[in-house]
Chains A and B, each alone.
Chain A
Amino acid sequence: AQSVTQLDSHVSVSEGTPVLLRCNYSSSYSPSLFWYVQHPNKGLQLLLKYTSAATLVKGINGFEAEFKKSETSFHLTKPSAHMSDAAEYFCVVSDRYDKIIFGKGTRLHILP
């Protein structure tokens, strides 16, 4: 069985400081892992994905994530937060075509 846990429901950081959004997963197979971002009243946009090619994955808008199998983690980071990063972030795991599991989401707040 697979599952995904986003460890923080809300994260607040000051503009220009680093961002860390935490995600742990459980999977019986070799998973694909995704981070999506959702701005208010919008659909979900893919930030980045892990598909077993490289453990450090670079995405759009300066975000990156590192797949750590030993820790079953896929945390999302960004070196310097921007006001436009304020949004909801979802970690998603998939290990079979018809099984896609969403985390509960982390709301990122950016303080001026």
Chain B
Amino acid sequence: DAMVIQNPRYQVTQFGKPVTLSCSQTLNHNVMYWYQQKSSQAPKLLFHYYDKDFNNEADTPDNFQSRRPNTSFCFLDIRSPGLGDAAMYLCATSTRDPGSYNEQFFGPGTRLTVL
């Protein structure tokens, strides 16, 4: 089945130690998104790629970076994680093909713990 895969599902890191979260997709969608979701809150968009075009949300901290080496993969790098960065990180994809209406397909998420 076509899907969005996130690895690892659970990630533990230390305060200030860089960490990378991974997302891959078999849907061949041209848009990929990264969301941060804290407990009992809605997902908050960090940034998205439309093909190779990177779009950063205005309030996304500089501590968060992203890479998209090809259509299938997208990475979220947190350069110096703080305690406030502990959250669920969700990857999603969509296509801008006519008739898609911007429906997003979500991965299962990576739960990040910062010690």
Contacts and interface: CB of A to CB of B under 8 A. Distances in A.
Contact of A44 (B43, B48, B50, B96): B43
A65 B4 CA distance: 26
Given A90-B42, A103-B42, A105-B41, A51 B106 contact: no
B45 A100 contact: yes
Nearest to A45: B106
Interface in A41-76: 41-46, 49, 51
A16 B111 CA distance: 33
Interface size class of B (residues with CB under 8 A): 20 to 34
Contacts of A51: 101
24 contacts: A32-B102, A34-B103, A34-B104, A36-B106, A41-B88, A41-B109, A43-B6, A43-B90, A43-B109, A44-B92, A44-B104, A90-B43, A92-B104, A94-B101, A94-B102, A97-B31, A97-B96, A98-B48, A98-B55, A100-B45, A100-B104, A104-B42, A105-B41, A105-B42
Interface of B: 4, 6, 31, 40-43, 45, 48, 50, 55, 88, 90, 92, 96, 101-109, 111
Interface of A: 32, 34, 36, 41-46, 49, 51, 90, 92, 94, 97-98, 100, 102-105, 107
